[in-house]
A and B are shown apart, each in its own frame.
Chain A
Amino acid sequence: TETFGISTAQLTPLCSVKNLIQVPTVRSTDFEVHRNWLAITHSLPVSRWYYENTSEWTLDYPPLFAWFELGLSQVARRFDANMLQVENLNYASPATVLFQRLSVIVTDVVFIYAARECCRCVREPKGSRDVLSRPSFVLAVLLLWNFGLLVVDHIHFQYNGFLFGFLLLSVAKHLQSQHLQGALLFAFLLNLKHIYLYVAPAYGVYLLRSYCFAQDNKDGSVRWSSFSPLRLLALGAIVTSVCALSFGPFIAMGQLPQVLSRLFPFKRGLCHAYWAPNIWALYNVLDKSLAVLGVRLKLLEEAELPPASMTGGLVQEFEHSVLPSVTPAVTLVCTLLSILPAVASIWLRPHGAQGFLRCLLLCALGCFMFGWHVHEKAILIAILPLSILAVESREDAGIFLILTTTGHYSLFPLLFTPAELPIKVVLMLMFTIFSFTALRKLHSAQGSLLHPLEVIYLLGLVAVAIACEVVFPLSPWQQRLPFLPLLVTSVYCAMGVCYAFLRLYASLLLRREEKPKQL
C-alpha cells in the first residue's frame, strides 16, 4: 500500500546506514563460531560436518542452516579464502570481517520483506493522518529499529534478522489466511534454528484446529465432521519434505543420533553464563539468599554448601544449595505446564489468527521463563511478534512497553566494552522514546497505556542501569563480587518479564468479544 511504500523508502536506507557504521565494532565469539561453520561446510565432506570438533564451536544448528552456510562460503571464497580453512582458528582478517558483516546486512532483506508483509496486515484507521502516526509506519519502525535485533545481529553478530524474517513472514501469512505458505515458512525456520521449537506447539495446535477442521460449530467448539484429510495431508507433506531436504542426507548416513546430540546439548547448565531474566534466575537468587541466610543464622554449615560456581559466570552443571536441584526433565514439565492453558485455549475457543499470535507469544514466553539453558536473546522471539499486536490494541501496547523495555535492557550485559556503552545507551534511548511516544499517540483516544506502578518499575530500570554501568565499576565491590550487576539486572528484568507473561495470559483467557473466524 502507498503508506507503507513511504515507510520502506524511509526506513531501509536508515537501517543500512546504521548497520554499516557498526562495521568496525568489537566482534564476539559468535563471529568465530560462524567463521568456523563456513570453514567446516566448505572444506569438509558432508559426512564429517557433525563430527568435526577441531574448534570448540561445533556445528549445533540444524542441517538446513549448514546448507545455508555452505552457500555463503561460495561467496566468502571471493573475499578471503583463508577464512575457509578449518585450522585457522580465530582468523579475522579485515576482508573476513567485512564479508561476515555484509552477509548479515544482505540477509536482512528477508527481515525487511517480512516487516513489510506484517505492516500490510495491520488495520489502518479511517481518516488521513500524517505518516508518522499511521500504525503501519509505527510497526515498521518498531520492527526494523528493534534495539534487541540491532544489538544482537550487528554488534554481537548472528543471523537473527534473517531468521526472524522467516518467523514474521510466517505469522503474516497466517494473518492473511495463507496457511500453507505460513506452514512452509515455519518448517524452513525450524530446520534453520531449532530454538523455534519454543513456538511449535502454537503452530501445531492452531493448524490442526483451525485449518484441518474447516468449520466450527456456532458456539466455537470443534465440529468433528468438518475434518479435512486433504488439508492434513498437505500440511504433513510440506513438513516432511522440508525435513527431508534438511535432514535427509544425515538420516541416509545414519548420523541422526549424532546430529540430535549436537542440537540438544543438555550437558550445559541450567542457566547461561549471563542469566536470562527467567524464573530460574529468581530461583537461583532465592537459593543463594537462603544459603547465605542459613549460614548467618547458623542453620547450615558453610562447608556443606557446594562452591559458588553458579555466580562464577561459567557454563557448567552445578547444584543448588538449599532448594532442590533442577534437572532438564523438570524444566520440560514446567514449560509444558506453563503453555498448556494457552494451547488448550486456542483448541477449545479459537480466536482466529489473532488468537494464534497470542498463543505463539505465550509459548515463546513460557519456554523462555521455564526452559533449560535459555539465552536472553530468546526474549526477542516474544518481543517482535508482540509489536504487531501493540499497534492495534491499547492493552497490548502497555504489555509491549513493559516487556520490550525490560527485555531490551536485559541485553545490556551482552555489550560490555566501554566503546559500546554510548551506542547501546543511545540506541536504547532512541527506541524507548519512539515506542513510548508513538504508541501513546496511536492509542491516545483510549486512555493511558501504563499504570503508575508500571511506570515506577520502568523508571527503576534507569536507576539499575546507572548503578550497574557507572556506580558499580567505581566501587570497592568490583573485585569481590564481579557478577553482582548481572545478577541485579537479571532479577530486576525477570520480574518485568513474569509480569508481562501473566498479563498476556490474562488477555488471552479473558478475551471474549472476538468471534472465531471461519477459514
Chain B
Amino acid sequence: MQTWSLVSICVLLAIIARWGVSLNSYSGAGKPPMFGDYEAQRHWQEVTYNLPIQEWYFNTTNNDLNYWGLDYPPLTAYHSWICAYIAKTINPEWVELHKSRGYESTQHKLFMRMTVLVADLLIYIPAVVLYCLYLTDGSSKKKVSIMFCFLLYPGLILIDYGHFQYNGVSLGFALWGILALGLGWDVLGSMAFSLALNYKQMELYHALPFFCYLLGKCIKTGLIGRGLFLLVRIGVTVLATFALCWLPFLAEPSQAMQVVRRIFPVARGLFEDKVANTWCSLNTLIKIKSILSGDSHFTLCFLFSVPQCHFKVNSSLAFFLFSFQVHEKSILLAALPACLLLNDLPLMALWFLQASTFSMLPLFLKDGLLVPYIVTSLGFLFFSIYLLSALDHCSEDKLRLGAYNKLFYWLPKMDLFYISIAAMVGLSIATAVLIPPPHLPDLFPVLVSTTAFLHFLGTFIHFNVVQFSEPPSRKSQKKSN
C-alpha cells in the first residue's frame, strides 16, 4: 500500500486513541475546592481573557495567585487567551471572572478536549510524522511503524488527554526544533526551540544538548568567519523570539521579574508527591530534606546535571533524576528523546517508555484513568514489540554496548525485560486493587516510584554507556542526538 495511505490510517488511529482517552475523566473532576489541572487551565483562560496583561502574573484582588496562579511562561498565557476568546463566543459562562470557578459541564469538557486535540493536530502530530518520514532511515514500512509507535506513546496521551495538559505543544515545538536541526536549518530550529522554552520552562531539560550541539557546530565551521556568523544569527533569533514573547512584560523590570519568580518557584520543597527521583528514593532511606536547606539543594542538583552534555536522553534523564522540584509528569521530557531512539535501540526505548508510563500510575489512579492506562499500555507494548521486532534486537552489538560489553555480558537481558514487565503489571494490579496497610498508607505509590526509579537509573546507565562507547566517527556523523 502507498505510504500516504498508511500514514493517514496510522494518524487517524492515533487520533482515535487520543479522543477515546479524552472521553474519560480529568484531573480534579468534581473535587472542590481546588479541583485539578483541568480547572487550572480553565482558570488561566478566565484570567488572561478578563484581566489586562500587566495583572496576569501578579497577586491582585481579581487574581488570586494561590488559586492556580499562572506559573508557565507567556506563550502558555497567550494560548489560554486564544482558547478563552473562542470559549467566550460559544458560552461566556465558561470564562466569567470569579463566577466560573469550578465550572464543570459536558459541553465545556468537550470544548477543552477539543482545544488539546487541535493543538496536537497543528503542532505535535505533524512534527512526529515529518520527523519519522525524513529523519529516520529504513524502508517506508519501518518508518511508518516507528511513527505509529511514537504516536501511541501512552504517557503523553494519558497526561494530555486524560489528566489534562498541553504538553503536546511544548514537546511539539521542541520536536520541530530537532527536525529543523536535523535538516540543517539551524536558525529555524533555534527559533522553534525558543518557542518551546517560552511555552513551558521545563524544556530547559532539553536546552543543554541544543546549546552544546549548536555551539559545537559553530566552532566546527570555524569560529572566525562562517561559524561566527552562524552563532550571531542563532543568537539574534533566540533573543528576538524571547523578546517577542516577553514583549508586554519588558516595559517594566518588575513585570519581568515577577514572571520569572512565578515560573521558577525556588521557594518550594525538593519534591512534591512521590516522584521517581533520586532524591525521592534516597529520602526514604535518609531524610535529606531535613539535612540540607533550600538553596544548597539547588546547587547540588545543578552540579550533578552539568556533565551530561551531548546525549539528549541522558541530559533530560539526568535533570529528571537529580533536579529540583520535579513533577512526575516531567518524565515526559525524557520520553520524547527516547521516542526518537525507537529506530536505533527499539528494545531499550520501548522499555523506558513503558516504565515512564508506569511511573505515573498513581497519578492516573487519582484521576480515574485506570482503564485507558491499561488499554494504551497494552496497545503500545504490543505494537512496538510486533511492529519493531524489538525482542529480536537484544544481541550485544544491537544494544551497542561496545567496549563495555564485557562488563555487562552476565546480565540476562531478555529475562530482565520479562521480569520487569511482570513486576510492572503486578504492581499496577496491586496498586489498583489492594488496600495498603494503615501504617503504610503510601506503600504502593512509593513502590511504584522506586521501581520506576530503578528502571530509569538502569536506562540512564545504559544510554550513557552507549553514548561513550560510540566510535568518534559515528559521533560526528550523528545529528542533534
Contacts and interface: CB of A to CB of B under 8 A. Distances in A.
B61 interface: no
Contacts of A438: 1
A441 B15 CA distance: 25
A13 B12 contact: no
A426 interface: yes
A99 to B, nearest CB: 14
B106 A419 contact: yes
Given A21-B16, A422-B19, A427-B16, A433 B9 contact: yes
A127 to B, nearest CB: 17
Contacts of A422: 15, 19, 117
Given A418-B110, A422-B19, A437-B2, A429 B382 contact: no
Interface in A152-210: none
Give the secondary structure class of B's interface: helix
Interface stretch (A22-30, A282-290, A487-495): A22-30
A237 interface: no
Given A17-B379, A430-B9, A441 B19 contact: no
A60 B2 CA distance: 47
B13 A20 contact: no
Contacts, number: 69
B375 A21 contact: yes
Interface in A98-138: 130, 132-133
B8 interface: yes
Nearest to A22: B20
Interface string A1-25: 0000000011001000110111111
A482 B2 CA distance: 42
Interface in B1-58: 1-2, 5-6, 8-9, 12-13, 15-17, 19-21, 23-24
B371 interface: yes
A21 B21 contact: yes
A130 B142 CA distance: 13
A2 to B, nearest CB: 16
| Residue from B107, B110, B375 with most neighbouring chain A CB atoms (10 Å) | B375
B375 A426 contact: no
Interface residues of B, number: 30
Query: Which of A13, A21, A24, A433: most chain B Cβ within 10 A?
Result: A21
A41 B15 CA distance: 40
B26 to A, nearest CB: 12
A135 to B, nearest CB: 14
B408 interface: no
A423 interface: yes
A9 B385 CA distance: 12
A67 interface: no
A483 interface: no
B378 interface: yes
B5 A437 contact: yes
| Chain A interface bracket (under 10, 10 to 19, 20 to 34, 35 or more) | 20 to 34
Contacts of B382: 13, 17
B177 interface: no
A17 B375 contact: yes
Given A22-B20, A430-B13, A17 B5 contact: no
A433 B8 contact: yes
Contacts of A433: 5, 8-9, 12
A434 interface: yes
B372 interface: yes
B304 interface: no
Contacts of A426: 12, 15-16, 19
A13 to B, nearest CB: 5
A21 B12 contact: no
B379 A419 contact: no
A133 B19 contact: no
Contacts of A9: 386
A84 B25 CA distance: 28
Interface in B300-340: none
Given A418-B110, A429-B12, A18 B2 contact: no
A18 B9 contact: no
B15 A13 contact: no
Contacts of A437: 1-2, 5
Contacts of A21: 16-17, 20-21, 23, 372, 375-376
A399 to B, nearest CB: 21
Contacts of A25: 23
A21 B378 CA distance: 12
Contacts of B371: 20, 23-24
A16 to B, nearest CB: 8
Nearest to B5: A437
Contacts of A132: 1, 6
A50 to B, nearest CB: 37
Contacts of B110: 418-419
Given A24-B24, A437-B1, A423 B378 contact: no
A430 B16 CA distance: 10
B16 A20 contact: no
A10 B386 contact: yes
Contacts of B21: 21
Nearest to B152: A17
Nearest to A13: B382
A424 to B, nearest CB: 10
A433 B6 CA distance: 9
Contacts of A441: 1
Given A10-B386, A13-B379, A18 B5 contact: no
A18 B375 CA distance: 8
Contacts of A430: 9, 12-13, 16
A434 B106 CA distance: 33
A77 B210 CA distance: 59
B2 A13 contact: no
Interface string A414-450: 0000110011001101100110011001000000000
A491 to B, nearest CB: 29
Contacts of B23: 21-22, 24-25, 419
Contacts of B1: 132-133, 437-438, 441
A423 B17 CA distance: 10
A212 B6 CA distance: 48
Contacts of A418: 107, 110
Contacts of B24: 24
Contacts of B15: 422, 426
A445 to B, nearest CB: 16
A18 B8 contact: no
Interface string B116-129: 01000000000000
Contacts of B16: 18, 21, 423, 426-427, 430
A441 B372 CA distance: 35
A308 B16 CA distance: 40
Contacts of B386: 9-10
A303 to B, nearest CB: 42
A128 B419 CA distance: 38
Max chain A C-beta neighbours (<10 A), residue from B17, B23, B378: B23
A433 B7 CA distance: 11
B312 to A, nearest CB: 30
Nearest to A23: B371
A20 B106 contact: no
Nearest to B15: A426
B378 A17 contact: yes
Contacts of A10: 386
A18 B20 contact: yes
24 contacts: A9-B386, A13-B378, A13-B382, A17-B382, A20-B374, A21-B17, A21-B21, A21-B23, A21-B375, A22-B23, A24-B23, A25-B23, A133-B1, A418-B107, A418-B110, A419-B23, A422-B19, A423-B16, A426-B16, A429-B12, A430-B9, A430-B12, A434-B5, A434-B9
Given A13-B382, A438-B1, 17 more contacts: A9-B386, A13-B378, A13-B379, A17-B17, A20-B374, A21-B376, A24-B371, A25-B23, A418-B110, A419-B110, A427-B12, A427-B16, A429-B8, A430-B13, A437-B1, A437-B2, A441-B1
Closest 5 CB pairs of A and B: A21-B20, A17-B379, A437-B5, A430-B12, A20-B375
